[in-house]
Amino acid sequence: MWEYTEKLKEHFFNPRNVGEIKNPDGVGEVGSLACGDALKLTFKLDENGKICDAKFKTFGCASAIATSSVLTEMIKGLTIDEAARITNKDIADYLGGLPEQKMHCSVMGREALEAAIENYRTGGRKKRELEGKVVCTCFGVTEKEIERVITENDLTTVEQVTNYCKAGGGCGGCKGEIEKIIEKIQGDKAKAVAASVPPKAGKLTNIKKIQLIQQTINEQIRPALRAHGGNIELIDVEANKVIVAFRGMCAQCRLAEYTMKDVVEAKLREFVSDELFVEEDRDSTQQPHNHRG
C-alpha cells in the first residue's frame, strides 16, 4: 500500500475543479489509456491575463487524480508566465510529497500545463507531441524529457528516471541508454552509483567474453525483443563469431536478417568487443526451441 499524505488523500476523495471549461483559452492533453494515466487540463483567462478558472479530467490512480486537482488550484490567479514556471517538484511539494514511484504523476501534471500554455500561445498542439529522439518506446519518452527530469530533480539512477517519467519501466530495453544520459548530465555523481551496464573490457578471456555476451543479451537485447513477442537465444561462440537464434515473432520476421542481426551485433560490439560479428543459426530457428546438444 502506498503511503499517501493526508493532503493527497483529501484531494483524491474530494477533487476540486473536475470537468471541462467550455471555450477555454488553453487545453492540454497528456497520457493515454495504454499508459495507465491521462489528464486533460483546460483553463480560462480573465481580462488581466490571469488564470481565472481551471478544470481537469483524469484517468488514473489516486495520486494522478490528486495531482491534477491541486494543479488546478495552484494555477488559479497566476499569469501565464508565472504558471509556466511551475515544475513537477512544486506540484509534489504542494501535496506534501509523493511516493518515489508516483513522481511521474507530478511530471504528468507539469506536462499537461505546458501543453495547455503552448496551446494558448500558439493555438495549436493541444496534445503533447513527441519531440526529438524517442528513447523509451514502451511509454514514448524522448531524450529531451529524460534530460529535463534528470536536471530538474537532480536524478542519478535509472530507477529514479523510471519513477519520474516512466522511461525504462516497460520492457527495460532502454535502461542502458538512460544510464548514458544520466552520466552525460550528472558526470561523476552518476558514476558513484553501481552501473548495470557491463564494463567493456580490454583483453578478455574466453570465459569472460562468453559471460559478457550472455549478460549483454540478457540485459540489453532480450527485454526489448520480449516486449514485441520475440526472443533470442545464444547458441554458441566460436572465436569472434556469436551464433544466435531468434524465437517467436522475431523468427518469423522477414526483416530479421537485416535488422535484428545488425541490432544485436551493434549492442555486442558496444558492450563486449568491437571484433564480434553475429551469425544466425538457421537450423535451430527452423525448428523452434529445439536446442541442439
Partner 1 sequence: MKTIYFDNNATTKVAEEVLEEMKPYFCELYGNPSSMHTFGGQIGAKIRNAREQIAALLGCEPSEIIFTAGGTESDNTAIMGTLAAAPNKRKIITTRVEHPAVLVVCRELENRGYTVVELGVDKQGRLNLAELENQIDDDDTALVTIMYANNETGVVFPIQEIAEIVTGKGVVFHTDAVQPIGKIPLNLSKSNIDLLSLSGHKLHAPKGVGALYVKKGTRLSPFMLGGHQEGERRAGTENVPGIIGLGKACELAAKNIEEENQRVKSLRDKLETALLEKCPGSRLNGDKENRLPNTSNISFEYIEGEAILLMLDRYGICASSGSACTSGSLEPSHVLRAMGVPFTAAHGSIRFSLSRYNTEEEVDYTIEKMPEIVNKLRKLSPFVAK
| Site residues, partner 1 (CB under 8 A) | 2, 9, 12-13, 15, 18, 29, 33-40, 57-65, 101-102, 138-139, 162, 166, 169-170, 214, 218, 222, 233-234, 289-291, 293
- Confirm whether 52 is a catalytic residue: no
**59 DSSP β-pair partners:** 38
In the complex, the smallest distance separating the C-beta of residue 63 from partner 1, rounded to whole angstroms, is 8
Min dist. Cβ of residue 50 to partner 1 (A):
25
CB-count exposure of residue 9 (10 Å: 0-12, 13-18, 19+): middle
Query: Nearer Cβ to partner 1, position 51 or 167?
Result: 167
Nearer to partner 1, 17 or 156 (CB): 17
How many alpha carbons fall within 13 Å on the CB side of residue 128?
25
Residue 147 is placed in which grid cell? 534530460
Residue 33 or 192 with smaller CB distance to partner 1? 33
Told to judge if 61 belongs to the known catalytic residues of this protein, a careful annotator would answer: no
110 vs 166, beta carbon nearer partner 1? 166
SS3 for 18-31 is: ECCCCCCCEEEEEE
User: Distance between CA 186 and CA 280 in Å, rounded?
Assistant: 39
Distance CA(160)–CA(98), nearest Å, equals: 13
**Annotated catalytic residue: which of 105, 136, 138, 165?**
105
- Work out how close the CB of 59 gets to partner 1 at its nearest, in angstroms, rounded to a whole number: 5
Instruction: Give the catalytic positions in this structure.
Output: 35, 105
